[in-house]
Chains A and B, each alone.
Chain A
Amino acid sequence: MTTDTMTVDRLRAIVDAYGADPTRWPAAERAAAEALLADSAAAQALVAEATDLDAALDAVPALQPTAAMRTAILAAAPRPSARSLFAQLHEGWSDLLGELGGWRMGGAVLAASLVLGIVSGGLLSEALSSEIAPGLLQLAYLDDGEMEY
Protein backbone atom coordinates (compact mmCIF):
# COMPACT_ATOMS: atom_id res chain seq x y z
CA MET A 1 0.00 0.00 0.00
CA THR A 2 1.20 3.53 -0.73
CA THR A 3 0.09 7.04 0.17
CA ASP A 4 1.58 9.64 -2.18
CA THR A 5 5.22 8.65 -2.14
CA MET A 6 5.10 6.68 1.13
CA THR A 7 5.18 2.90 1.08
CA VAL A 8 4.95 0.37 3.88
CA ASP A 9 8.59 -0.55 3.24
CA ARG A 10 9.71 3.04 3.60
CA LEU A 11 7.59 3.47 6.73
CA ARG A 12 9.23 0.34 8.15
CA ALA A 13 12.66 1.89 7.54
CA ILE A 14 11.53 5.13 9.21
CA VAL A 15 10.10 3.35 12.26
CA ASP A 16 13.19 1.13 12.55
CA ALA A 17 15.37 4.23 12.67
CA TYR A 18 13.30 6.86 14.45
CA GLY A 19 10.83 4.84 16.50
CA ALA A 20 7.08 4.97 16.86
CA ASP A 21 6.55 8.66 17.60
CA PRO A 22 5.74 10.61 14.41
CA THR A 23 7.25 13.80 15.88
CA ARG A 24 10.66 12.11 15.53
CA TRP A 25 10.13 11.08 11.91
CA PRO A 26 11.84 13.04 9.10
CA ALA A 27 9.93 16.29 8.64
CA ALA A 28 9.88 15.96 4.86
CA GLU A 29 8.14 12.56 4.99
CA ARG A 30 6.05 12.91 8.14
CA ALA A 31 2.74 13.94 6.56
CA ALA A 32 2.81 11.13 3.99
CA ALA A 33 3.85 8.61 6.65
CA GLU A 34 1.05 9.67 8.98
CA ALA A 35 -1.47 9.46 6.14
CA LEU A 36 -0.35 5.89 5.46
CA LEU A 37 -0.49 5.10 9.16
CA ALA A 38 -4.10 6.27 9.33
CA ASP A 39 -5.14 3.97 6.48
CA SER A 40 -2.99 0.87 6.74
CA ALA A 41 -3.27 -1.92 9.31
CA ALA A 42 0.21 -3.11 8.32
CA ALA A 43 1.60 0.36 9.06
CA GLN A 44 -0.19 0.44 12.40
CA ALA A 45 1.29 -2.94 13.34
CA LEU A 46 4.80 -1.66 12.54
CA VAL A 47 4.36 1.33 14.78
CA ALA A 48 2.85 -0.73 17.60
CA GLU A 49 5.90 -3.01 17.56
CA ALA A 50 8.24 -0.05 18.03
CA THR A 51 6.45 1.48 21.02
CA ASP A 52 7.95 -0.93 23.57
CA LEU A 53 11.52 0.09 22.79
CA ASP A 54 10.53 3.76 22.86
CA ALA A 55 8.95 3.26 26.29
CA ALA A 56 12.07 1.52 27.58
CA LEU A 57 14.27 4.39 26.34
CA ASP A 58 11.91 6.95 27.84
CA ALA A 59 12.23 5.32 31.27
CA VAL A 60 15.80 6.61 31.56
CA PRO A 61 15.59 10.04 33.22
CA ALA A 62 17.58 13.05 32.07
CA LEU A 63 20.23 14.61 34.27
CA GLN A 64 18.97 18.02 35.38
CA PRO A 65 21.22 21.06 35.81
CA THR A 66 21.44 22.53 39.30
CA ALA A 67 20.70 26.15 40.20
CA ALA A 68 24.35 26.54 41.20
CA MET A 69 25.45 25.58 37.68
CA ARG A 70 23.18 28.22 36.17
CA THR A 71 24.50 30.86 38.57
CA ALA A 72 28.14 29.95 37.85
CA ILE A 73 27.58 30.02 34.09
CA LEU A 74 25.85 33.39 34.18
CA ALA A 75 28.59 34.80 36.42
CA ALA A 76 31.04 34.06 33.59
CA ALA A 77 28.80 35.57 30.89
CA PRO A 78 30.08 38.53 28.83
CA ARG A 79 29.68 42.03 30.27
CA PRO A 80 28.97 45.07 28.11
CA SER A 81 32.31 46.53 27.01
CA ALA A 82 33.09 50.28 27.21
CA ARG A 83 32.87 50.30 23.44
CA SER A 84 29.38 48.78 23.36
CA LEU A 85 28.23 51.17 26.11
CA PHE A 86 29.55 54.07 24.01
CA ALA A 87 27.73 52.64 21.01
CA GLN A 88 24.48 52.54 23.03
CA LEU A 89 24.98 56.14 24.18
CA HIS A 90 25.77 57.21 20.64
CA GLU A 91 22.63 55.43 19.43
CA GLY A 92 20.50 57.16 22.07
CA TRP A 93 22.03 60.54 21.27
CA SER A 94 21.43 60.04 17.54
CA ASP A 95 17.80 59.10 18.24
CA LEU A 96 17.33 62.26 20.34
CA LEU A 97 18.83 64.43 17.64
CA GLY A 98 16.69 62.74 15.04
CA GLU A 99 13.58 63.55 17.06
CA LEU A 100 14.74 67.17 17.38
CA GLY A 101 15.12 67.45 13.61
CA GLY A 102 18.78 66.54 13.03
CA TRP A 103 22.08 68.19 13.95
CA ARG A 104 21.19 71.76 12.92
CA MET A 105 17.80 71.88 14.66
CA GLY A 106 19.18 69.92 17.60
CA GLY A 107 22.04 72.41 17.99
CA ALA A 108 19.65 75.37 17.89
CA VAL A 109 17.36 73.76 20.48
CA LEU A 110 20.30 73.00 22.78
CA ALA A 111 21.69 76.54 22.42
CA ALA A 112 18.27 78.00 23.27
CA SER A 113 18.04 75.66 26.30
CA LEU A 114 21.46 76.85 27.48
CA VAL A 115 20.53 80.54 27.22
CA LEU A 116 17.20 79.91 28.96
CA GLY A 117 19.01 78.03 31.73
CA ILE A 118 21.48 80.86 32.33
CA VAL A 119 18.80 83.57 32.36
CA SER A 120 16.38 81.66 34.59
CA GLY A 121 19.24 80.67 36.91
CA GLY A 122 20.22 84.33 37.34
CA LEU A 123 16.67 85.49 38.01
CA LEU A 124 16.03 82.66 40.45
CA SER A 125 19.16 83.34 42.50
CA GLU A 126 18.22 87.00 42.76
CA ALA A 127 14.71 86.11 43.90
CA LEU A 128 16.08 83.63 46.46
CA SER A 129 18.48 86.10 47.97
CA SER A 130 15.84 88.81 48.30
CA GLU A 131 12.73 86.86 49.32
CA ILE A 132 13.50 83.41 50.59
CA ALA A 133 16.61 84.23 52.51
CA PRO A 134 14.78 85.39 55.70
CA GLY A 135 12.89 82.10 55.72
CA LEU A 136 16.13 80.14 55.45
CA LEU A 137 17.55 82.15 58.33
CA GLN A 138 14.59 81.15 60.50
CA LEU A 139 15.16 77.52 59.69
CA ALA A 140 18.78 77.90 60.71
CA TYR A 141 17.68 79.33 64.06
CA LEU A 142 15.30 76.44 64.61
CA ASP A 143 18.29 74.08 64.33
CA ASP A 144 20.13 75.88 67.13
CA GLY A 145 19.92 73.64 70.18
CA GLU A 146 20.76 76.35 72.66
CA MET A 147 17.89 78.62 71.76
CA GLU A 148 14.79 78.50 73.93
CA TYR A 149 11.25 78.78 72.52
Chain B
Amino acid sequence: VDPDLELVRRAGVGDAPACAALVDRYLAKVTAFAGRTLANRADAEEVAQEVFLRVWQHAGSWRAGGARFSTWLYRVTLNLCHDRLRRRRETTLDAAGDPPSDAPQPGAELQRNAVVARVEAALAQLPERQREAILLCHYQELGNVEAAAILDVTVEALESLLSRGRRRLRQLLASEAQDLMGELR
Protein backbone atom coordinates (compact mmCIF):
# COMPACT_ATOMS: atom_id res chain seq x y z
CA VAL B 1 0.00 0.00 0.00
CA ASP B 2 1.30 3.46 -0.94
CA PRO B 3 1.80 5.37 2.34
CA ASP B 4 1.22 8.71 0.56
CA LEU B 5 -2.03 7.77 -1.17
CA GLU B 6 -4.47 9.33 1.30
CA LEU B 7 -2.41 12.52 1.60
CA VAL B 8 -2.22 12.91 -2.18
CA ARG B 9 -5.96 12.32 -2.55
CA ARG B 10 -6.75 14.99 0.05
CA ALA B 11 -4.25 17.43 -1.50
CA GLY B 12 -5.98 16.88 -4.84
CA VAL B 13 -9.26 18.27 -3.51
CA GLY B 14 -7.56 21.32 -2.03
CA ASP B 15 -7.16 20.18 1.58
CA ALA B 16 -4.64 22.79 2.83
CA PRO B 17 -3.23 20.74 5.77
CA ALA B 18 -2.68 17.78 3.43
CA CYS B 19 -0.85 20.00 0.92
CA ALA B 20 1.37 21.34 3.72
CA ALA B 21 2.04 17.82 5.03
CA LEU B 22 3.02 16.62 1.55
CA VAL B 23 5.40 19.57 1.13
CA ASP B 24 6.91 18.99 4.57
CA ARG B 25 7.40 15.30 3.81
CA TYR B 26 9.10 15.74 0.44
CA LEU B 27 10.40 19.28 -0.17
CA ALA B 28 13.71 18.73 1.64
CA LYS B 29 14.26 15.38 -0.10
CA VAL B 30 13.48 16.75 -3.56
CA THR B 31 15.65 19.84 -2.99
CA ALA B 32 18.58 17.76 -1.73
CA PHE B 33 18.31 15.32 -4.65
CA ALA B 34 18.06 18.10 -7.25
CA GLY B 35 20.90 19.96 -5.53
CA ARG B 36 23.25 16.98 -5.75
CA THR B 37 22.20 16.12 -9.29
CA LEU B 38 22.60 19.65 -10.64
CA ALA B 39 25.32 21.02 -8.30
CA ASN B 40 23.70 24.43 -8.58
CA ARG B 41 21.49 26.01 -5.94
CA ALA B 42 19.34 28.22 -8.15
CA ASP B 43 18.64 25.44 -10.65
CA ALA B 44 17.85 22.96 -7.88
CA GLU B 45 15.43 25.36 -6.20
CA GLU B 46 13.64 25.99 -9.47
CA VAL B 47 13.39 22.26 -10.15
CA ALA B 48 12.00 21.60 -6.66
CA GLN B 49 9.29 24.23 -7.16
CA GLU B 50 8.48 22.86 -10.60
CA VAL B 51 8.18 19.35 -9.17
CA PHE B 52 5.53 20.51 -6.72
CA LEU B 53 3.63 22.33 -9.46
CA ARG B 54 3.44 18.95 -11.21
CA VAL B 55 2.28 17.37 -7.95
CA TRP B 56 -0.54 19.91 -7.65
CA GLN B 57 -1.52 19.32 -11.29
CA HIS B 58 -1.70 15.54 -10.89
CA ALA B 59 -2.89 15.09 -7.30
CA GLY B 60 -6.57 15.47 -8.21
CA SER B 61 -6.44 12.62 -10.70
CA TRP B 62 -3.99 10.39 -8.78
CA ARG B 63 -5.13 6.77 -8.70
CA ALA B 64 -3.87 3.83 -6.66
CA GLY B 65 -2.44 0.84 -8.46
CA GLY B 66 0.30 2.46 -10.54
CA ALA B 67 3.71 3.58 -9.32
CA ARG B 68 4.07 4.69 -5.72
CA PHE B 69 3.75 8.44 -5.32
CA SER B 70 7.36 8.79 -4.10
CA THR B 71 8.65 6.81 -7.11
CA TRP B 72 6.73 9.09 -9.47
CA LEU B 73 7.99 12.15 -7.57
CA TYR B 74 11.65 11.17 -7.90
CA ARG B 75 11.17 10.29 -11.58
CA VAL B 76 9.70 13.73 -12.24
CA THR B 77 12.60 15.33 -10.34
CA LEU B 78 15.15 13.31 -12.28
CA ASN B 79 13.52 14.14 -15.64
CA LEU B 80 13.47 17.85 -14.83
CA CYS B 81 17.15 17.64 -13.79
CA HIS B 82 17.98 15.86 -17.05
CA ASP B 83 16.26 18.66 -18.99
CA ARG B 84 18.38 21.24 -17.15
CA LEU B 85 21.60 19.30 -17.70
CA ARG B 86 20.79 18.92 -21.40
CA ARG B 87 20.17 22.65 -21.76
CA ARG B 88 23.36 23.36 -19.87
CA ARG B 89 25.34 21.22 -22.28
CA GLU B 90 23.73 23.01 -25.22
CA THR B 91 24.65 26.47 -24.02
CA THR B 92 28.12 27.84 -24.46
CA LEU B 93 27.97 29.72 -21.18
CA ASP B 94 27.93 26.74 -18.87
CA ALA B 95 26.28 27.56 -15.56
CA ALA B 96 27.33 24.31 -13.91
CA GLY B 97 28.32 24.53 -10.30
CA ASP B 98 28.12 27.39 -7.89
CA PRO B 99 31.18 29.66 -7.87
CA PRO B 100 33.37 29.20 -4.80
CA SER B 101 32.79 31.74 -2.07
CA ASP B 102 35.50 34.35 -1.53
CA ALA B 103 34.52 34.91 2.08
CA PRO B 104 37.30 34.07 4.57
CA GLN B 105 36.70 30.84 6.51
CA PRO B 106 38.14 29.45 9.72
CA GLY B 107 40.81 26.76 9.28
CA ALA B 108 38.74 23.69 10.17
CA GLU B 109 35.84 24.84 8.04
CA LEU B 110 38.18 25.55 5.15
CA GLN B 111 39.67 22.07 5.46
CA ARG B 112 36.25 20.44 5.62
CA ASN B 113 35.10 22.38 2.57
CA ALA B 114 38.17 21.14 0.73
CA VAL B 115 37.13 17.55 1.54
CA VAL B 116 33.59 18.24 0.38
CA ALA B 117 34.87 19.79 -2.83
CA ARG B 118 37.04 16.74 -3.56
CA VAL B 119 34.19 14.30 -2.94
CA GLU B 120 31.83 16.41 -5.05
CA ALA B 121 34.41 16.51 -7.83
CA ALA B 122 34.78 12.73 -7.67
CA LEU B 123 30.99 12.28 -7.81
CA ALA B 124 30.84 14.65 -10.79
CA GLN B 125 33.31 12.45 -12.66
CA LEU B 126 31.10 9.37 -12.44
CA PRO B 127 28.99 8.34 -15.42
CA GLU B 128 25.50 9.83 -15.02
CA ARG B 129 23.65 6.59 -14.22
CA GLN B 130 26.22 5.48 -11.64
CA ARG B 131 26.04 8.87 -9.94
CA GLU B 132 22.23 8.81 -9.90
CA ALA B 133 22.18 5.31 -8.42
CA ILE B 134 24.47 6.48 -5.59
CA LEU B 135 22.43 9.63 -5.01
CA LEU B 136 19.21 7.62 -4.71
CA CYS B 137 20.54 4.78 -2.55
CA HIS B 138 23.14 6.51 -0.41
CA TYR B 139 21.86 10.07 0.00
CA GLN B 140 18.11 9.61 -0.46
CA GLU B 141 18.28 6.26 1.38
CA LEU B 142 15.77 4.63 -0.94
CA GLY B 143 15.38 0.87 -1.07
CA ASN B 144 16.85 -0.98 -4.02
CA VAL B 145 13.43 -1.83 -5.53
CA GLU B 146 12.27 1.79 -5.54
CA ALA B 147 15.62 3.16 -6.76
CA ALA B 148 15.60 0.61 -9.61
CA ALA B 149 12.04 1.65 -10.53
CA ILE B 150 13.03 5.33 -10.60
CA LEU B 151 15.98 4.60 -12.89
CA ASP B 152 13.84 2.15 -14.90
CA VAL B 153 16.34 -0.70 -14.52
CA THR B 154 16.26 -4.09 -12.80
CA VAL B 155 17.48 -4.46 -9.23
CA GLU B 156 20.49 -6.42 -10.55
CA ALA B 157 21.34 -3.58 -12.94
CA LEU B 158 21.02 -1.07 -10.11
CA GLU B 159 23.39 -3.11 -7.97
CA SER B 160 25.89 -3.17 -10.83
CA LEU B 161 25.64 0.63 -11.25
CA LEU B 162 26.20 1.08 -7.52
CA SER B 163 29.17 -1.29 -7.35
CA ARG B 164 30.90 0.28 -10.34
CA GLY B 165 30.16 3.78 -9.05
CA ARG B 166 31.55 3.12 -5.58
CA ARG B 167 34.60 1.34 -7.01
CA ARG B 168 35.33 4.33 -9.25
CA LEU B 169 34.89 6.72 -6.31
CA ARG B 170 37.38 4.72 -4.24
CA GLN B 171 39.88 4.95 -7.09
CA LEU B 172 39.34 8.68 -7.51
CA LEU B 173 39.71 9.33 -3.80
CA ALA B 174 42.38 6.69 -3.10
CA SER B 175 45.39 8.96 -3.50
CA GLU B 176 44.06 11.27 -0.82
CA ALA B 177 42.12 8.76 1.24
CA GLN B 178 44.32 9.11 4.30
CA ASP B 179 44.14 12.91 4.21
CA LEU B 180 40.42 12.79 3.66
CA MET B 181 39.75 10.51 6.57
CA GLY B 182 42.11 12.45 8.80
CA GLU B 183 40.28 15.66 8.04
CA LEU B 184 36.87 14.10 8.55
CA ARG B 185 37.70 12.61 11.94
Residues of A in contact with B (beta carbons under 8 Å apart): 13, 16-19, 23-24, 26-27, 52-57, 59-66, 69-70, 72-74, 76-81, 84
Give B residues with C-beta under 8 Å from A: 11-16, 19-20, 23, 27-28, 31-32, 34-36, 41, 44-45, 48-49, 52-53, 56, 59-60, 112, 115-116, 119-120, 123, 134, 137-139, 141, 143-144, 155, 159-160, 162-163, 166-167, 169-170, 173, 177, 180-181, 184
Asked if A74 contacts B20 (CB within 8 A), the reply is yes
Chain B residues near A65 (CB-CB < 8 A) = 27-28, 31, 45, 48
How near does chain A come to B100, taking the closest CB pair, in angstroms? 15
B147–chain A nearest beta-carbon distance, Å: 10
CA distance A60 to B32 in the complex (A): 11
Q: Do the beta carbons of B177 and A78 come within 8 Å of each other?
A: no
| Count of CB-CB pairs between chains A and B under 8 Å | 123
Q: Is the interface of A mostly helix, strand, loop or mixed?
A: helix
Q: State the CA gap A26–B96 with chains docked (Å).
A: 34
| Contact present for B49 and A60 (CB under 8 Å) | no
Q: How far is the CA of A52 from the CA of B60 in the complex (A)?
A: 45
In the complex, the answer to whether A56 meets B180 with C-beta atoms within 8 Å is: yes
